[in-house]
Amino acid sequence: MKIVMIGDITGQAGIDYLGECLPQVIAEKNPDLIIANAENAMSNGRGINRQVAEQLYDLGVEFLTMGNHVWDHKDAFTLLQEDQRIVRPANMAASLPGRGHVYCKVHGQEVAIVNIIGRTYMNLSDCPFQTMDHLLDEISKRTPFIIVDFHAEVTSEKLAMGYYLDGKVSAVIGTHTHVQTADEQILSGQTAYLTDVGMTGPAQGILGVDKSLIIERFRYATPVRFELAKGSRHFHAVYFELDKAGRAVSIERIRYVEKDRK
Ligand SMILES: [Fe+2]
Ligand SMILES: [Fe+2]
């Protein structure tokens, strides 16, 4: 099974560049399943609504994972109740709408897609390790094809989750930092692992945001209103293959950077 996971799609620039890059990825890799993190897909980089989700589906993305920005747009509360293709962090308050894991069918094979969020330098949430224990009690009975988007800030927490889930899931792919790491690997239990897949959207800002605003925030520690950067865009994703038992056999990073766009 061939899977593409795309990193945090950020703003309309991210959606537009996804539209330019994804056909090439599909032509080269012929994936069976395309997943994207969409927590920043609104035009202001915060959250998601139905119209934006539909744009992503129209471009070929089949499932959307989320993160700390999941509730930033008010429409998310009804959207996540109704749309079973969106997965939000499982270790947020259970009374919130939406699902922390979903099942899909790929060529007749059931696949579970799970989203969890880290706790270090992030808002409060339940323990992601214990949450995974509970989820796997249920999911592992149904399928060995389990793909985890771990949305977390620090590399150590992500690596800890990768090793903790090694041999128990098909892939642990990190999102949230918006910078792609070069540590793609298949762990000893045949779990595909990447600390962060990177973002898709404005390339010349700081994590997608206009760099002068972020510099100002660091220099003066004053509140600033985020605006997304203009100019060149980049696309970051990861491609991995699973064998018939749901174990990873290959993993490869994908990165396109646009040149000289004003
Ligand atoms: Fe993000
Ligand atoms: Fe995030």
- In tens, the pLDDT along 212-238 reads 999 999 999 999 898 999 999 999 999
pTM for the predicted model, two decimal places: 0.97
- In tens, the pLDDT along 129-143 reads 999 999 999 999 999
The residue ranges of every structural domain in the chain are: 2-257
pLDDT of residue 261: 74
Which ligand approaches the C-alpha of residue 70 most closely?
2
In this structure, what token pair is assigned to residue 180? 């792609």
- Could you tell me the CA-to-CA distances from 78 to 179, 242, 249 in Å, in that order? 31, 34, 38
- In tens, the pLDDT along 141-170 reads 999 999 999 999 999 999 999 999 999 999
Q: 103 Cβ partners below 8 Å, 6+ apart?
A: 110, 111, 112, 113, 142, 143
Whose CA is closest to 100, among 118, 82, 84, 88? 88
- In this model, does residue 262 exceed pLDDT 70? no
Q: Which CATH fold topology does 2-257 show?
A: Purple Acid Phosphatase; chain A, domain 2 (3.60.21)
Q: How far is the CA of 178 from the centre of ligand 2 (A)?
A: 8
Q: Which residues is 209 bridged to in the sheet?
A: 206, 228
Q: How far is the CA of 177 from the centre of ligand 1 (A)?
A: 7
Query: How far apart (Å, rounded) are the C-alpha atoms in residues 224 and 75?
Result: 24
Residues with CB under 5 A from ligand 1 (ion): 8, 40
- In tens, the pLDDT along 159-205 reads 999 999 999 999 999 999 999 999 999 999 999 999 999 999 999 99
Question: Mind telling me the catalytic residues?
Answer: 69
Whose CA is closest to 63, among 114, 138, 126, 127? 114
Q: How far is the CA of 40 from the centre of ligand 2 (A)?
A: 8
Q: Which residues is 114 bridged to in the sheet?
A: 101, 148
